[in-house]
Structure formats: structure tokens, C-alpha cells
Amino acid sequence: MNARLPDPTPLLDPVAVRQRVDARWQHDILPALQRYIEVPAKSPMFDPEWAVHGHLETVLRQAAEWVTRQPVQGLTLEIVRLQRPDGSPRTPVLLFEVPARAGVDGTPAPASGQTVLMYGHLDKQPEFSGWRTGLGPWTPRLIDDRLYGRGGADDGYAVYAALAAIEALQASGRAHPRIVGLIETGEESGSPDLLPTIDALRSRLGDVGLVICLDSGAGNYDQLWLTTSLRGMISGVLRAEILTEGVHSGDASGVVPSSFRILRHVLDRLEDSATGRLLPAVFHCEIPAERIAQARETAAILGDAVWKRFPWAHHDCGGSTVFALPTTTDPVEALLNRTWRPTLSVTGAEGLPALRDAGNVLRPYTAFKLSLRLPPLVDAAQAVQQLKALLEDNAPYQARVTFEPEGAANGWNAPATVPWFEQALHAASQVHFGAPCGTIGQGGTIPLMNMLSAGFPRAQMMVCGVLGPQSNAHGPNEFLHVPYARRLTAAVAEVIARLP
């Protein structure tokens, strides 16, 4: 994105919009988000009995009740509930609609074919460990304008910010297009129910000209950030089994190979353990020149903060503090590594006893939960098959090695930005942040974006969010940066006002 565009005159009164948005956040949204954080509404992948436990239903109804109280003209709301072919429930979706509206100055409402689609989700990641004293996943704490707790930033705030932006837009008296909101409850599980839901609602969504996805990140808290790409993902369990039961390590080691070593050997086929680079070419793609150029521009803004923002471990060495180092300290390479190159993470393990329970036993099996992030242009379905064959074929020592995929999702590369959208982003960022809009790729996955790009090929994609430095979504001490969320809400209203 060209940061040297002239600053267009804002369409909305920025002072009035900010005052309205700030008041809404202070008196209405923050209390609602604190109630939301208190509910352990874990995504179905982490709570298979979600329908019985009812936590997703609780946050869905809380949000629905809040939405219906908002002073937005023409607002309608529905909870969409579908079933799978076997009769089990799909995760529900909150659907709201606001019809196009004429301006108080007589400006006609935009054409009925123009629709803005706003997206967010209410399901959460699991608790994780390592929360600081006084903080916890289900204990909302507001400290120095940061609201701590699981899900507030990822992505509970989205439905509340969306309605606040619409309300501020209407209060300005300007005409606005039709707006539809889609708030799901299965995103953290890979959105398995979203495509069938979109198919069922397609005729009701209309001709979408602008998608606003409020589930992404920010390079800093000083400007608006547009996400230009998202990585895909494969998750699954890799297991190596060598014995039917544990045996004395002194008796068997040297004869029976360790199941851990077998997995280490198998993973060496996939990853260079010295550098972290994935070895098979099939998991890589050519990085578009435009994205490399954008990474350079973003690196010039963020500098070493690209890698310094993470909570590196440290230790004392001869009286000085030594910090762990990243794979690269080059900001451009760091940005490309986390957005356009494949990476492997082991996110869980089984078959390993706790340290206090670990006797001198050669264990019968080891299992790893794998998370493989894929570049935006690599097909996830094909990658799953290639990964399974790579890991399972010709197992060392004829051990039983299996890889069971649990989910796969394609990445996403944003469509070309048209002039009105580029000017709208810069205007919104300059007015509400005092800086031009930045562009950044994200290393995470939002399965919806490819679905929407395929379903609405003419739509512009405003993928943005509040997950800036140290916000730590999915990990301990997750927080929502409240001042940034307020400014983002106001910026969204400005962009919607500019839809042709």
C-alpha cells in the first residue's frame, strides 16, 4: 500500500465519532466484555461436549441480548442453528442485518446490491498455563487500559465494536449501505461449520462489496493495520509405538529404540532442526514481489520490534543478563518467515509422564500434536496427504508410526486494493491515529477469508484487529488494548462511509 497518498478529507466528523465510540466503549462494551471473559466458552476442538456444557450458548445469548439493545435503526438479529447430516448440531452463528439508509441531507441510500459483511467469532482457545499472579483466563482484569482475560481480543470484542461503529455512522447522519454481521462460534476449531452456514445464508448475504474481518492483528498500536495475507494450517497427531508396555530402561535401552528418538528421526524428514526450515519444496511457494515490497515497508516502520516484542527467556551469565535469540534479527526476513514461509510447531505431547512421575522406564509410545503453518498459496488438502506419506512411510525399526490429521485450512492472499478502498484506509488511519495505514501479513489462519474471497470475488477485504505487540492471543496473559480498540472502531465507521 502506498503510504504517500494524500490525506483525503474525512467524511465523518472525527471528534463526534470518537466521542460517541469512546462513550460506548466505556459504559457499554467494557462491562459486556468482562462478562464475556468470565465464561469458559472454549471452541469445540477443546470442548467436545460444548453443546452439553452450554458455554458457547451463554456467550452467544449474551451478545445477542446486547445487540438487540443498541440504538441502531432497522437492526434485526437471528441466531442461526443448523444440523449436520447425522443430526448433531452445528455451532450456531449470530446473524444481524442493518438495511441501507439515506442521509439526513437527502443523500439517497446506496444501491441495494451493495452490502458490507462484518465478521467475528465468540469461541475461545483453552486456558493455557503461565498467567501472571492476579490474572487468569476467566478472570477479567482492566489494568492500565489493557483488559486481560481469554478471548477479549481474540475475538469477543468484534461483535461489540461492529455495532458501535454502525451506531456512530448512523449518528453522523450520513447515508450508509446495507450491513450484515456474521459472528460464528467455531473459528478456533478451523470453522468446520462455517461453509455450510454461508451456503445456507448465501441468498441473504447479498452482493458483498466490502468485508470487514475484525479477527486479525496489528504491527503496533500507533496506526491502522491492514492484513494482506494469512497462512494456512495443518494440525494432527504424530505417534510412534514400539512396545506394548513400558520396560526397565537399564534392561532394554540399547536394544529397544526410544519412541522419542523415532519421532525425532521422522521429523528430521520434514524440518532442518538447526534452522527450522521445512525441507520438502511442496510446502513452500514463491512469495509475490508485492508482498516482499510491503514487508520491507513494514520493517522500516517496526524495525527490531518485529522480533523483540516476544517474551524471550533470559538468564544470568557472569553477572550480565543474556536473552534467547530469534532465528533471524533481520526485520524483513522475520516478517517473511512468520507470514510466507512454512513452519512446524509441536504444541502438545502424550506418553510422557510428569517429571515427578518419571521412573527409569523405556516408554511404549510417544505422540506429538503438530501444527504446520503453510504459506498462503499452498493447497492445504494436498499438503495433508503429502505430509502423511512423508511421516508414515518406511518407519524406522518398523515401528508403528501414524499421523492422524485433525484439521486443515488454506491460507489467503488479499485481492488487489482498489483506489477508493486505499484512500478510505489512509483517511481513517490519519484521522483516528495520526499516521498512514500500514500493511502486514499474519502468520495465523482465518479459514473464512478464502471462503469469502471465492464467494465474493469483487469485494474488498478489510482484515484488521487488535492483536498487537504482547497481546498474546492463545497464550497466557492475553489482553485487549482498549485505546486501540476504540480508535479501530472509529476507523471502521469512516471506511464504511466511503463505500462507493
Tens-digit pLDDT profile for the chain (500 aa)? 654 454 567 899 999 999 999 999 999 999 999 999 999 999 999 999 999 999 999 999 999 999 999 999 999 999 999 999 999 999 999 999 999 999 998 888 887 668 999 999 999 999 999 999 999 999 999 999 999 999 999 999 999 999 999 999 999 999 999 999 999 999 999 899 998 999 999 899 989 999 999 999 999 999 999 999 999 999 999 999 999 999 999 999 999 999 999 999 999 999 999 999 999 999 999 999 999 999 999 999 999 999 999 999 999 888 899 999 999 999 999 999 999 999 999 999 999 999 999 999 999 999 999 999 999 999 999 999 999 999 999 999 999 999 999 989 999 999 999 999 999 999 999 999 999 999 999 999 998 898 888 888 899 999 999 999 999 999 999 999 999 999 999 999 999 999 98
CATH architecture of 14-230+412-497: 3-Layer(aba) Sandwich (3.40)
pLDDT in tens, 323-376: 999 999 999 999 999 999 999 999 999 999 999 999 999 999 999 999 999 999
Q: What is the predicted pLDDT for the residue at 3?
A: 46
d(CA 338, CA 328): 11
Within 13 Å and on the Cβ side, how many CA atoms surround 363? 18
Can you tell me whether residue 194 is helix, strand or coil? helix
For the chain, the residue count is: 500
What stretches of 221-286 show up as alpha helix (H) in DSSP? 249-252, 259-267
C-alpha cell read off for 117: 459483511
397, amino acid identity: Y
pTM (predicted TM-score): 0.92
Report domain extents, the chain: 14-230+412-497, 232-285+340-409
d(CA 453, CA 411): 11
Say what angle helices 289-302 and 331-339 make with each other, to 10 degrees: 130
Q: What string of DSSP letters covers 315-348?
A: EEETTEEEE---S---HHHHHHHHHTS-EEEEEE
d(CA 260, CA 201): 48
Q: What string of DSSP letters covers 366-392?
A: EEEEEEEEE-TTS-HHHHHHHHHHHHH
d(CA 254, CA 266): 19
C-alpha cell read off for 81: 442453528
pLDDT in tens, 237-268: 999 999 999 999 999 999 999 999 999 999 99
Residue closest to 492 by CA, chosen among 193, 116, 147, 139: 116
C-alpha cell read off for 442: 499474519
Can you tell me whether residue 55 is helix, strand or coil? helix
Residue closest to 448 by CA, chosen among 227, 294, 288: 227
C-alpha cell read off for 246: 513400558
Q: Give the list of residues 6+ apart from residue 112 with CB closer than 8 angstroms, or none.
A: 100, 178, 206
Do 14-230+412-497 and 232-285+340-409 show the same overall fold? no
CATH architecture of 232-285+340-409: 2-Layer Sandwich (3.30)
Residue closest to 159 by CA, chosen among 123, 205, 195: 123
What stretches of 309-353 show up as alpha helix (H) in DSSP? 331-339
Say how many Å lie between the first and final Cα of the chain, rounded: 20
pLDDT in tens, 57-90: 999 999 999 999 999 999 999 999 999 999 999 9
Contact yes or no for 82/200 (Cβ under 8 A): yes
